[in-house]
């Protein structure tokens, strides 16, 4: 299906804010089944829920034997380009666990690929860019950001297919990497413990840095809107490398673009006649900017495990929902201890305006039984918390 037809999906929606009408401006024109469990969306919008919804970053991942089996036949980005494979991988954790949301299987680096950069996934090493950006003139190699969404039709097809096959069980989350995080990969050429090359650009090439961040923002906005047009019911923006920036650099080179993405996506959704969706910002190690992130135009602020929930709530107030933030390594504990840690976490966050998650993604060597224990503990204790 071409991008133009994707972008027109759902244009006959009626824009409306009240929850009973938003419940939902369902894309009936696409024949999506009615949503049966809206707990995650209600929490994201700040509405009261009967229990705390829970999902996990990287819930579709290598910790699942069925994931490894599905992925064995293809390289990583070939899998990302297969709507059928992405749909299957997205659905696998929901067959095992009573999660309250699905997140489409994809990768943040499909955006640099769509801008014309070669990216490969090297086993045991991670992403690799054979020709990273080194000089200002290298920006001329990048494609027009307006063409990016048309290059990523396979993501939209995966989202639509997954919405159909979810059969209304839970909402589907779309996502993308934030501009600064994408910039780091494009300049570093892969993962880095210091981001020294990317930060060198910020200090030595501030104008070119802003130019690149603008290009990425211009690419991300139609990409995220396209995900909603295809069926995504919420969006998460991953600023995974926020912690490499101190407050000053973050406020200069990350926060303005995080704000711009939210503002422009919301405006474009309205212009396209698409229903509003809650947006989540997850800035890992960005604890120094919590107040600013809470005012950046997102309904939900994701927290990593280095932030104390009660202090986070004090700092952001009651105008946003918080998401997180159990240390992923807590899942190495016994199932009994996982239950105790979850109970403490839920007590600290409180019963409303909260979505339970980990403080980062699941690791490949984690026991699926312990993931199940985490999900069950959230549901069980959050119901007890409301009764008391």
Residue 323's pLDDT band, with cuts at 50, 70 and 90, is: very high
Tell me if 258 is assigned to some domain.
yes
Compute the distance between CA of residue 303 and CA of residue 307 in angstroms, rounded to an integer: 7
The residues that bridge with 118 in the sheet, in sequence order, are none
Tell me if 85 is assigned to some domain.
yes
Tell me if 366 is assigned to some domain.
yes
Enclosing domain of residue 91: 38-385
Which residue is catalytic, options 22, 42, 71, 259? Answer: 71
pLDDT of residue 30: 66
CATH at residue 360: 3.20.20.210
Mean pLDDT score of the chain: 92
Tell me if 5 is assigned to some domain.
no
Which residue is catalytic, options 62, 96, 143, 165? Answer: 62
pLDDT digits (tens, 9 = 90+) for 88-99: 999 999 999 999
| Conformation bin of residue 73: beta by default, left when phi > 0, alpha when psi is -120 to 50 | alpha
Number of domains in the chain: 1
Task: Determine whether 42 is an active site residue.
Answer: no
Tell me if 150 is assigned to some domain.
yes
In the sheet with 279-283, reading across from the earlier edge strand, the strands are: 102-103, 172-177, 234-239, 279-283, 300-302, 321-326, 354-358
Task: Determine whether 62 is an active site residue.
Answer: yes
pLDDT digits (tens, 9 = 90+) for 33-65: 999 999 999 999 999 999 999 999 999 999 999
Q: Measuring CA to CA, which residue among 336, 356, 335 is closest to residue 347?
A: 356
Task: Determine whether 71 is an active site residue.
Answer: yes
Task: Determine whether 107 is an active site residue.
Answer: yes
Residue 363 three-state SS: coil
Q: Which two tokens stand for residue 356?
A: 């339970």
Tell me if 28 is assigned to some domain.
no
Find out whether 322 and 282 touch, Cβ atoms under 8 Å: no
Which residue is catalytic, options 38, 42, 51, 58? Answer: 58
Tell me if 15 is assigned to some domain.
no
Q: Measuring CA to CA, which residue among 40, 62, 181 is closest to residue 124?
A: 62
Which residue is catalytic, options 185, 223, 257, 298? Answer: 185
Which residue is catalytic, options 107, 268, 298, 353? Answer: 107
């Amino acid at each position: 299906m071409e991008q133009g037809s994707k972008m027109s999906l759902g244009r006959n929606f009626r824009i409306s804010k009240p929850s009973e009408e938003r419940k939902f401006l369902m894309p009936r024109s696409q024949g999506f089944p009615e949503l049966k469990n809206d707990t995650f969306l209600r929490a994201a919008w700040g509405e009261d829920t009967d229990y705390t919804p829970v999902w996990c970053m990287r819930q579709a991942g290598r910790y699942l034997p069925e994931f490894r089996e599905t992925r064995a036949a293809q390289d990583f980005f070939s899998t990302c380009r297969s709507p059928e494979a992405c749909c299957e991988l997205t659905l696998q954790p929901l067959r095992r666990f009573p999660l309250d949301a699905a997140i489409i299987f994809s990768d943040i680096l499909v955006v640099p690929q769509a801008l014309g950069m070669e990216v490969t996934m090297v086993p045991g090493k991670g992403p690799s860019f054979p020709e990273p950006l080194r000089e200002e003139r290298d920006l001329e190699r990048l494609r027009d950001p307006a063409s990016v969404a048309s290059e990523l039709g396979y993501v939209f097809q995966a989202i639509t297919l997954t919405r159909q096959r979810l059969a209304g069980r839970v909402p589907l989350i779309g996502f993308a990497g934030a501009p600064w995080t994408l910039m780091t990969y494009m300049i570093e050429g892969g993962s880095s413990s210091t981001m020294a090359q990317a930060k060198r650009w910020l200090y030595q090439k501030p104008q070119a840095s802003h130019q690149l961040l603008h290009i990425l923002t211009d690419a991300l906005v139609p990409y995220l809107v396209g995900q909603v047009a295809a069926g995504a019911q919420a969006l998460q923006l991953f600023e995974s490398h926020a912690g490499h920036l101190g407050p000053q650099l973050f406020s200069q080179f990350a926060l303005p673009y995080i704000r711009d993405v939210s503002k422009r996506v919301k405006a474009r959704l309205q212009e396209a006649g698409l229903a509003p969706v809650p947006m989540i910002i997850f800035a890992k190690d960005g604890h120094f900017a919590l107040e600013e992130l809470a005012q950046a135009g997102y309904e939900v602020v994701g927290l990593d495990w280095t932030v104390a929930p009660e202090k986070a709530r004090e700092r952001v107030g009651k105008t946003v929902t918080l998401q997180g933030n159990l240390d992923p390594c807590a899942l190495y504990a016994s199932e009994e201890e996982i239950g105790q840690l979850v109970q403490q976490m839920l007590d600290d966050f409180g019963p409303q305006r909260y979505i339970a998650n980990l403080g980062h993604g699941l690791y490949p060597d984690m026991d699926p039984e312990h993931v199940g224990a985490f999900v069950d503990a959230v549901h069980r204790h959050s119901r007890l918390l409301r009764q008391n």
